[in-house]
């Protein structure tokens, strides 16, 4: 095998590693340094590759994360009939999970405004205190904690929260949550919280 073939083979392997990693979920610079380095070097090739699958590559260099997003759907019916099956599934969020996302995003805004630590780390108890105002069964502490643990685990599964070792254990809010809860959503934050309060009693 010639040196050119070896180089091409290595490049293909690196491209495959990056694409597969992105297909599995969010790629973080601090958690996946080797993949991130390859992503920076092969950015154009990765973008061309995923565009064939009707995906877009989103990279936030400042915050250190990258992910794939489905390209905007065409309204034309003829174009719709030719589209590929969706590779990046839309994940509907329940009311409490959506609420938790908004509350964590607001906490991140407050942290950024102080100009302090770039990492937002909260305990389970702090998250419970943030949410308990909006959730039913406030008198039943055990049930409340179990419910919120379920919501926390769901956000950890999506990659928005990272569980940290320690005593007591803590959770890091990953900065990709900024891509989920955008500035427009935060602009009418108080209005959304009023809606959440009005509908809190309908939760099971």
Q: pLDDT tens digit string along 50-83?
A: 888 888 898 988 888 898 887 765 444 443 444 4
Are the beta carbons of 21 and 27 closer than 8 angstroms?
A: yes
Last residue of a domain, one of 23, 46, 81: 81
Looking at the fold, whether 77 and 103 belong to one and the same domain comes out as: no
Q: What's the length of the chain?
A: 204
CA angle 119, 124, 130 (to 5 degrees): 85
**CB half-sphere exposure, 116, CA atoms < 13 A:** 10
The number of folded domains in the chain is 2
Looking at the fold, whether 45 and 112 belong to one and the same domain comes out as: no
> Pairing between strand 27-28 and 65-70?
antiparallel
Looking at the fold, whether 157 and 99 belong to one and the same domain comes out as: yes
| 86 found inside a domain | no
Are the beta carbons of 107 and 114 closer than 8 angstroms?
A: no
Looking at the fold, whether 198 and 115 belong to one and the same domain comes out as: yes
| 71 found inside a domain | yes
| 88 found inside a domain | no
Which residues, other chains included, contact 136 with Cβ-Cβ below 8 Å and sequence gap of 6+?
200, 201, 203
Rounded distance between C-alpha atoms, residue 146 and residue 10, angstroms? 48
Rounded distance between C-alpha atoms, residue 14 and residue 3, angstroms? 16
What band does 89 get if pLDDT is binned at 50, 70 and 90? low
Instruction: Say what the pLDDT of residue 41 is.
Output: 92
Assess whether pLDDT exceeds 50 at residue 175: yes
Rounded distance between C-alpha atoms, residue 15 and residue 23, angstroms? 12
Assess whether pLDDT exceeds 50 at residue 186: yes
Looking at the fold, whether 73 and 99 belong to one and the same domain comes out as: no
Better-predicted residue by pLDDT, 73 or 49: 49
pLDDT (tens digit per residue) in 92-101? 677 788 888 8
Looking at the fold, whether 38 and 69 belong to one and the same domain comes out as: yes
Q: Which of 17, 23, 90, 74 lies closest to 50 in space, CA to CA? A: 23
The pTM of the whole model exceeds 0.85: no
Looking at the fold, whether 198 and 102 belong to one and the same domain comes out as: yes
Better-predicted residue by pLDDT, 170 or 4: 170
| 61 found inside a domain | yes
Rounded distance between C-alpha atoms, residue 56 and residue 34, angstroms? 21
| 59 found inside a domain | yes
| 25 found inside a domain | yes
Domain of 72? 3-81
Instruction: Say what the pLDDT of residue 199 is.
Output: 60
Please spell the DSSP secondary structure of 51-62, one letter per residue: HHTTEEEEEETT
What band does 34 get if pLDDT is binned at 50, 70 and 90? very high
| 103 found inside a domain | yes
| 90 found inside a domain | no
CATH number at residue 13: 1.10.10
Looking at the fold, whether 62 and 11 belong to one and the same domain comes out as: yes
Buried b (16+ CB within 10 A) or exposed e, 59-94: beeebbbbbbebeeeeeeeeeeeeeeeeebeeeebe
Mean pLDDT for the stretch of residues 35-53: 90
Looking at the fold, whether 104 and 180 belong to one and the same domain comes out as: yes
Looking at the fold, whether 146 and 192 belong to one and the same domain comes out as: yes
Give the number of other Cβ atoms within 10 Å of residue 12's Cβ.
11
Last residue of a domain, one of 81, 105, 125: 81
pLDDT (tens digit per residue) in 120-162? 899 988 998 888 877 765 557 778 888 888 999 988 888 889 8
Looking at the fold, whether 142 and 75 belong to one and the same domain comes out as: no
Better-predicted residue by pLDDT, 15 or 140: 15
The whole-chain average pLDDT of the chain stands at 76
Instruction: Say what the pLDDT of residue 36 is.
Output: 93
Looking at the fold, whether 170 and 73 belong to one and the same domain comes out as: no
């Amino acid at each position: 095998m010639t040196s050119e073939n070896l180089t091409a083979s290595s490049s293909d392997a690196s491209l495959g590693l990056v694409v597969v990693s992105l297909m599995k979920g969010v790629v973080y610079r601090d958690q996946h340094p080797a993949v991130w380095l390859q992503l920076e070097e092969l950015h154009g090739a990765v973008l061309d590759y995923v565009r064939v699958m009707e995906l877009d590559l989103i990279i936030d260099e400042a915050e250190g994360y990258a992910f794939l997003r489905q390209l905007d759907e065409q309204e034309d019916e003829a174009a719709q009939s030719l589209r590929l099956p969706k590779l990046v599934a839309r994940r509907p969020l329940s009311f409490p999970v959506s609420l938790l996302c908004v509350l964590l995003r607001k906490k991140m805004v407050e942290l950024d405004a102080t100009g302090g630590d770039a990492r937002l780390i909260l305990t389970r108890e702090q998250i419970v205190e943030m949410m308990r105002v909006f959730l039913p069964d406030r008198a039943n502490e055990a049930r409340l904690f179990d419910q919120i643990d379920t919501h926390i685990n769901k956000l950890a599964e999506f990659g928005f929260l990272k569980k940290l070792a320690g005593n007591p254990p803590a959770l890091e809010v990953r900065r990709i949550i900024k891509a989920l809860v955008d500035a427009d959503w935060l602009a009418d934050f108080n209005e959304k919280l009023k809606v959440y309060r009005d509908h809190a009693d309908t939760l099971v």
